[in-house]
Structure 1
């Protein structure tokens, strides 16, 4: 029985910053951001978009094409939680009008959260083959104005439907995992912005990739040349490029070119959206599907990483007809709808979004009709509305 990804939806807020503008404002050479970091644009969430609203909007991309009565599980992975107790998934479940019998909860391990949700959902569907599962990764990456990590911010969500006989990616058995208790990135309860040791985090990421990739190949008796694509968690695209260089080291020209081309395809959405933490790996997957032109049956290797730290490598094969389940035109239109912010506007939006709105004050969205948004709190209870 095959289990895997049947549907996938992406959402990102309707505002962005151009990296050339940001570089000039910070007295930096634009190539430091464009080439050194590998980013062109960065989505910005205003006060009306949070992890919940983005997760709803990502799932809305496919919800009308599934049988909602078959959904038995909803797992929400995030490190941008909106409550210390109540799961973000319950707000999503209500907005999507899923049945009350759905099991639902939230998981957290930095950027590994959506992979954790996916593996839980895979095992659930194996035991309950007549049911499906929705998994969501949704985050706002914030490091602060004029900080070293500013250029690696972003906002967005990926939602996926997991089921038997999937239409996009059939997950293979087995995985390799590795974890250590380290402090490369963290966000204390009293901070709205993350704290990171950038150089250390990059090295840990590369070390975890090397170990899990090699362990997986050994476990599955595979060689690097057997993969048609390798994709990565991308806090910024240059990070994945470094991992990919490790992967193709000492490989023949054909393998090197194949995996370099697939990486180039997988990084395109990230280059324009930025860091979306838990969902970043799966935005890489969507970008590969839309821009990679891979044939059915292609073996895709996926490296997931969450600081603190947890790494995992696994694989899947593309299903015949997967192209019918993606809509690159609609995703490009979503990016094109975004308003380009001046640096002053971006800083104002960023700083305002760090503050909780006054209880009882209703917020309104300037996004397109049909978009879900955070409308403020009433009696300290979060309100979500559809425009």
Structure 2
């Protein structure tokens, strides 16, 4: 089943910052500018174009292909994907695999990992000239998705006039607890989730010293965990993250507020759980005066296979290699740090993958939900071709790949 979502996030007050009207689809210097070009109308349209071309070409489907397009993914998918999943479940549908939006094709992610590693620093490596750095992008195919728990923390004390303040008040008590949560990180779980397979898949393309490390994670796991933990972009895939997103208190500048509230959001590592995160939070807060209320919670997804038996994973990887045959792509399993509609399809298959064939650099990630969202015209054509190849490659019970199929 190929899935995507039709809804987009709002433009809010950023419309004047766009170089083209945000819903125009205007093409400037080879890029299509519009909200949804990378999240997620590009995938909706590419899937439909690929299927249309296959049908027009007289392609005969040996396997049933499902297309599922939600209309409310950005707010949880509870009236879109959830109902689709329920309907397919009632019909007894069992899928070979499912592909939804997810991680991208990134051009320049690995050199930064390596340059910032303790080993690279100790060896005084200033530049890395290796296969990965020479236009060989990494395709992180997410085989798992982090869970989520959002907490509301509140404390109520006696208020009063600021001229006679108590030694402690609601703001002080809660801010101290928030500081503890912020400073005491959740445990680094590198090696317990897909991040281990990610490093192992990259090993053949790394310089010698890094290959030695990647091949002996049983020994060097603490070193790699430390390296990943130094940057938010890599730290987020090897631990449960903690983000304080709201703090509310205060009535007037000369009044001691009787109540303070805060919101804390965790994204949960695949080897962690909602229960364990909550238990750690209570222990870290260590103050019975603070009331904790769970607003939203979802355990991490199951981890889908990526070994030699994983039909869906290899169909995706081979289709990518066919479409991007002019460059050497490096495919590796990874973890999706955000949430998708796939949560509503867990009961339909054990093989769920999250990947978007949008090719970009790390600097482009700010366009995701941001200003000047765009996709290259060539990249959109490649996206259509990717789905076309994937449909053809998946049309049997065994993966049959010899040569790239005819381009659209």
TM-score range, shorter chain: under 0.3
Highest CA radius of gyration, 1 or 2? 2
* Bigger relative contact order (CA 8 A; separation at least 6): 2
Give the structure-2-normalised TM-score. Answer: 0.23
Q: TM (normalized to structure 1)?
A: 0.24
